[in-house]
Amino acid sequence: MPFPLTIAEAPYGSSLYSEMLALREKILRAPLGLALTDADKRGDADQIHLAAKIGERLVGCAILVPADAGTMKLRQMAVEDGFQGQKIGQKILAYAETLARTKAYQRIQLHARETAVGFYERSGYHTVSGPFLEVTIPHREMEKSLSL
Ligand SMILES: CC(C)(COP(=O)(O)OP(=O)(O)OC[C@H]1O[C@@H](n2cnc3c(N)ncnc32)[C@H](O)[C@@H]1OP(=O)(O)O)[C@@H](O)C(=O)NCCC(=O)NCCS
């Protein structure tokens, strides 16, 4: 990588947030023949948007959503084509976990595409549900305890 990877929160409504919407659309919806819906974006204003950049280039994103007193949910994890398989997703997960821990959350939950279950397992997440359909494809609920 020509520049180091930086991961930071992106303010809702910022130009970086707009770039993240485009990345979510490109990586998470277009390959399924879908578009981001209003439901996908509902709540974005109150959620924590994580942007991974190399220099000025957005290369990955994820969103954290407080769910209950002890639980943070992670959604919309995506790494740009051409940058996948370079540990960027793993670093976004680690950043999200540190942030959630700092805010005293005890666990992270997420809906993983079945094709991505192995990715989350590599970072210590385990499956807590059977398969269910979301955005037309099978998913599993997964979680990770943040206690040290
Ligand atoms: C899934 C995704 C977020 C992973 O990010 P990434 O930057 O490509 O993955 P990383 O390089 O950080 O991978 C970390 C580890 O997980 C493994 N891994 C990555 N993707 C995997 C997958 N789909 N299945 C199984 N293992 C996977 C890697 O081999 C690596 O293992 P290692 O530590 O033994 O080397 C990314 O590939 C992506 O955006 N895919 C398309 C959209 C998607 O599926 N998003 C997830 C929605 S739930």
pLDDT on residue 2: 59
Summarize pLDDT for 2-15 with one digit per residue, the tens: 579 999 999 999 99
Residue nearest to atom 17 of ligand 1 (CA): 119
Bridge partner residues of 52 (DSSP): 7, 60
The answer on pLDDT for 148 being more than 80 is no
Q: How far is the CA of 79 from the centre of ligand 1 (A)?
A: 8
Q: How far is the CA of 89 from the centre of ligand 1 (A)?
A: 6
Distance of CA 42 to the CA centre of its chain: 16
Q: How far is the CA of 112 from the centre of ligand 1 (A)?
A: 11
Ligand 1, pocket-test mutation among 20, 119, 141, most atoms within 8 A of CB: 119
Model pTM above 0.85: yes
% pLDDT > 70, the chain: 99
For 101, residues 6+ apart whose C-beta sits below 8 A from its C-beta are 146
pLDDT on residue 1: 55
8 A C-beta contact, residue 44 and residue 63: yes
Ligand 1, CB cutoff 6 Å, lining residues: 27-28, 77-79, 84-90, 112-113, 115-116, 118-119, 122
Summarize pLDDT for 21-60 with one digit per residue, the tens: 999 999 999 999 999 999 999 999 999 999 999 999 999 9
Measured over the CA atoms of residue 4, residue 59, residue 100 and residue 147, the dihedral's sign is: negative
Q: How far is it, in rounded angstroms, from Cα 19 to Cα 15?
A: 6
Q: How far is the CA of 66 from the centre of ligand 1 (A)?
A: 24
CA distances from 143 to 23, 54, 82, 86 (A): 24, 28, 28, 23
Q: How far is it, in rounded angstroms, from Cα 21 to Cα 32?
A: 16
Residue nearest to atom 46 of ligand 1 (CA): 77
Q: How far is it, in rounded angstroms, from Cα 87 to Cα 90?
A: 5
Q: How far is the CA of 108 from the centre of ligand 1 (A)?
A: 17
The answer on pLDDT for 111 being more than 90 is yes
Instruction: Share the mean pLDDT of the chain.
Output: 96
